[in-house]
Amino acid sequence: MGADTAELPLKGVRVLDLTLARAGPTCVRHLADWGADVIAVLPPHGGEGLLARDGFDYQNLHRNKRFVSLDLKSAKGRTAFLKLVERTDVLVENMRAPVKHRLNIAYDDLKPINPRLVYGSISGFGQDGPYAMRAGVDQIAQGMGGLMSVTGEPGRGPMRAGIAVSDVTAGTLLALAIMMALYQRERTGEGRYVHTSLLESQIFLLDFQAARWLMAGEVAGQMGNDHPTIAPMGVFPTADGHVNIAASTPAQFEHFCAVAERPDWPIDPRWSSSRRRTENRAALNEAIGAATREHPSAWWVDQLEAAGVPCGPILSIDEVFADPQVKHLRMAAPAEHPRLGATEMVDSPINLQGLETTIRSVAPLTAADTDEVLAELGYAPDEVAAMRAEGAI
């Protein structure tokens, strides 16, 4: 059983969620999972895409929120929105940079209303600069941020990663920035504007590949399943499939050779040092592949783990969630859905000792919490009814 919401660390933090797609909702999901009162603002009569709201993607991204409908272009809808802003700790949006200025809901517009507001933005390419007006999606950022140039096999052309790397990273980094700003607000009493972009996040993820260029002038290329600078580290065939093996240190390479019953390899002039193993990677990989084909994957995993050599199977996603360690880590969180019944969603990877997140609520088909939230702002039932009749909610 998960912790009661009152025990979660973000209890009492109110978040206004103006996000769509994936990067922004990923940020807000971190906050919602750990107890923040998240109010997602949807446009009225949002029938488009209604069926998708019971789909796996929408439910995975938008759990643990309350949903309201407000027309920010109407006078009454905007008034209600500004009342929410007055009572809000954090606002998160991932519109194209000019849109929030056109709606007059940018940080500079809202700061006079609530100086304690922490305002978080994610864009494709940054809030200003030559590309600020462009719309950005994950795959475009993967290409422009260098990832596709180092992913895939040499000579096969650029290759995208199989997940939305830029989106998820940008959302996670913005959540971190928001927590920094909230922490600083405890000292200063003032909020702050924080932002990142898919492009910045993707470049940050290049990590040592980016440092190779900046510090050593080396432009990394595609290496397939091989590690760019270390050998042997990669995917090797077995009698029944493939395994990942990372015998990257001299000691690990010797232990691997012992398990493989190839005592001559560590003294072979081609492979007798880390540098030589990297320089002669192709021949080494071919020799290792011939050896690893002699036994099934499970045999190699067991033997190499016992010898202190990192080794692991290559699992499909269904096999991932059947893995005993993944089950132990409880990465599949149970949820009860009013229309789908008992289901599961991806749990938070963050662990706070003594606390657990829970799926407290699923994403509804409609903005089901509009009346409740407006009542909290002081609106009487007849006022809410009038707003609904006018299309403001």
**Structural tokens at position 216:** 């050593």
Query: Do 198 and 138 meet the contact criterion of CB atoms below 8 Å apart?
Result: yes
> 37, 89, 167, 226: which one is catalytic?
167
Element containing residue 62 per DSSP (H, E): none
DSSP 15: E
**Structural tokens at position 202:** 């993707």
CA distance 182 to 188: 10
User: What secondary structure does DSSP assign to 118-137, as a single string?
Assistant: EEEEEESS-SSSTTTTS---
Asked if 57 is an active-site residue, the reply is no
Helix and strand element counts for the chain (H, E): 18, 11
- Quick check: bond before 237 cis, omega within 30? no
CA distance 135 to 96: 6
**Structural tokens at position 184:** 């600083």
Query: Do 236 and 243 meet the contact criterion of CB atoms below 8 Å apart?
Result: yes
Find residue 196's DSSP bridge partners: 122
Query: Do 322 and 273 meet the contact criterion of CB atoms below 8 Å apart?
Result: no
Which residues are designated catalytic?
167
